[in-house]
Amino acid sequence: MPRISVKVDGVTYSDDVEPRTLLVHYLRETLGKVGTVIGCDTSNCGACTVHLDGRSVKSCNVLAVQADGREVTTIEGLATNGRLHPMQQAFHDCHALQCGFCTPGMIMQAVDLVTENPNASEAEIREGMEGNLCRCTGYHNIVKAVQQGASATASAAGGEQS
Amino acid sequence: MIPTAFDYVAPTSLEDALSALAEAGDDAKVLGGGQSLLPVLRLRLNAPEKIVDLSRIDSLRGISDDGDTIVIGAMTTHDEVARSELVREHAAVLAEAASTVADPQIRHRGTLGGALVHADPAGDLGAPVLALDAELVVVGAGGERRIPAGEFFQDLFETAVGEGELLTAIRIPKHTGWGGAYEKFVRVSHQWSIVAVAAVTRDGEAKVALTNMGSTPLRASAVESAIADGASVKDAAAKAAEGTNPPSDLNGDSDYRAHLATVLTRRALARAMGG
Ligand SMILES: Cc1cc2nc3c(=O)[nH]c(=O)nc-3n(C[C@H](O)[C@H](O)[C@H](O)COP(=O)(O)OP(=O)(O)OC[C@H]3O[C@@H](n4cnc5c(N)ncnc54)[C@H](O)[C@@H]3O)c2cc1C
């Protein structure tokens, strides 16, 4: 079995993995990072979204061996010092969930989206989130949360600079 | 589901990739961005014994300027193609089409080369590549071949890439100053094209190609000649389905697609011409 070395949420892990292991299975079953969930079998739903070298990917559609030498951030790595990431806080404040199953993927994609486009319009947010399905909310509060999370992220970044 | 077990290699040079493929013969499968292959393996529609991952071969990635041509490495992602200044300036229709593929996460992984070799008739990148008269660079044990896009797509999921060969680059003649538009029709977001039309135009000239109007991307030659003969956009677009044999499926029957092709061709031409 090939041995891989991956930095996940700031910690470097080395493990032997079968080549057919999907990244999402490695995260959940080997590392116990069950915050990342599996919602479908077709790479449509986006629930398993994580960041690979800083960009959002569906971790059911990447092999663990492909992450060798790379860096992964999951929903479990967003909070710092026990404080929610501004996007997590925004989802909480805006009640952007009902059952919550899609939420980890939604938040990871939302963070990618606002990093890329801090001033995204509502239409751009709806398009940028199109790879993430929610079967409960009708998306209304999710879009609101991404808008709030975008401005909170921007002001947090501004605060750090000054 | 979990794929069946396979051996995995991730060579860092083209030569090593070709020898890994040659060694494994038809038991091997090339892994590009994995956005079509991994779903196929998970559903166990295919069970290769060996996977040759191209993602560590740097020379297959990136977009460069080669005089009157732009060269896109096969492993360049949809996201990189959509954002590239070079592509937007000289092959705008391809950048637009790449931005309509799937969703952001899949565009961060999926590659232009993978999409073309996958050759799904509903895939969005074949038509723009065909409309732009691109050449596909295929490398195998016997050396390099350059294949015109018109000869590359052979049937449903079938291309001119043979066993043991790799698509390494897509060479696109610059269409600087030409208008371009990709009109894709879907009913829900993040869906494959029901029909789509790629149009590239300049004064009195149009190159038009159709997505999902047959088993391969097709040039709409009747539309192109009508424009060359001075027909109006409306009259030319009415010929979009001539000579096509569109599929019937849950998304629409063949007649519906034939009608859609005319509407989308009219829109694509009008927008490409700045109307
Ligand atoms: C949910 C979902 C929605 C999608 N929606 C769309 C859509 O709207 N429009 C669209 O066009 N596509 C869509 N796709 C497919 C996407 O575009 C894929 O990225 C693309 O089809 C395959 O590219 P890849 O790099 O991921 O290739 P892979 O999945 O790695 O490979 C695909 C095939 O090509 C072969 N291959 C790959 N690279 C090479 C190479 N360089 N040389 C030789 N053979 C190679 C592989 O062996 C395999 O047979 C969607 C996919 C998913 C999962």
CATH superfamily name and code, B179-272: CO dehydrogenase flavoprotein, C-terminal domain (3.30.390.50)
pTM of the model: 0.97
Q: Which two tokens stand for residue A20?
A: 């057919």
- Chain B residue with CA closest to A59: the answer is B105
In a domain, A40, yes or no: yes
Same domain, A124 and A150: yes
CB pairs under 8 A between A and B: 83
pLDDT for residue B58 is more than 50: yes
- What residue ranges do the domains of chain B occupy? 7-53, 58-173, 179-272
Among 3.40.50.1980, 3.40.1500.10, 3.30.365.10, 3.30.465.10, name the CATH number for the domain at B58-173: 3.30.465.10
> Which pLDDT score is estimated for A159?
62
Mean pLDDT of chain A: 95
Last residue of a domain, one of A20, A54, A77: A77
A162 band by pLDDT with thresholds 50, 70 and 90: very low
Nearest in space to B121 (alpha carbons), one of B259, B26, B33, B248: B248
B255 pLDDT more than 60: yes
Chain A residue with minimum CA distance to B192: A44
The pLDDT score that the predictor gives to residue B189 is 81
Number of independent structural domains in chain A: 2
Alpha-carbon gap, residue A82 to A66, rounded angstroms = 31
Average pLDDT in the B191-195 region? 94
Q: What SS3 state is found at A12?
A: strand
B45 reaches A (C-beta below 8 A): no
Residue A40 and residue A92 in one domain: no
Are residue A73 and residue A90 in the same domain, yes or no?
A: no
Q: Assess whether the C-beta atom of B35 lies below 6 angstroms from ligand 1.
A: yes
Residues of A in contact with B6 (CB under 8 A): 19-20
Does the residue A152 lie in any domain? yes
Residues A94 and A136 in one domain: yes
Place of tokens 């996977």: B51
What is the topology classification, in CATH, of domain B7-53? 3.30.43
Which residue does chain A place closest to B8, by CA atoms?
A19
CB contact under 8 A, B55 and A66: yes
Cross-strand bridge partners of residue B182: B198
For residue B74, give the ligand 1 atom closest to its CA: 41
Backbone angles phi, psi at A13, to 5 degrees: -120, 145
Query: Given ligand 1 and candidates B29, B31, B35, which is best to mutate, with the most ligand atoms within 8 Å of its CB?
Result: B35
Q: Are residues A48 and A66 in the same domain?
A: yes
Inter-residue contact A86 to A160 (CB < 8 Å): no
Residue B232 to residues A71, A102, B181, B260, B273: CA-CA distances in angstroms? 54, 49, 17, 18, 12
Q: Give the CATH number, domain containing residue A52.
A: 3.10.20.30
Residues A69 and A98 grouped into a single domain: no
Q: What is the pLDDT of residues A123-156, one digit of tens each?
A: 999 999 999 999 999 899 999 999 999 999 888 8
Decide: B238 and B229 in contact? Cβ < 8 Å: no
pLDDT band of B275, cuts 50, 70, 90: low
Q: Residue A160: pLDDT band by 50, 70, 90 thresholds?
A: low
Residue at which a domain ends, from A14, A43, A77? A77
Per-residue pLDDT tens digits for A71-81: 999 999 999 99
> According to DSSP H, which parts of B25-125 are helical?
37-42, 78-83, 85-90, 92-99, 104-109, 112-118
Domain boundary among A16, A49, A77: A77
Contact assignment for B4 to A19 by CB distance below 8 Å: no
- Could B108 and A55 be called an inter-chain contact, meaning their C-beta atoms sit closer than 8 Å? yes
Give per-residue pLDDT as tens, A36-53.
Answer: 999 998 999 999 999 999
Cβ separation A109–B106 shorter than 8 A = no
pLDDT of B191 reads 87
Q: pLDDT at residue B158 above 80?
A: yes
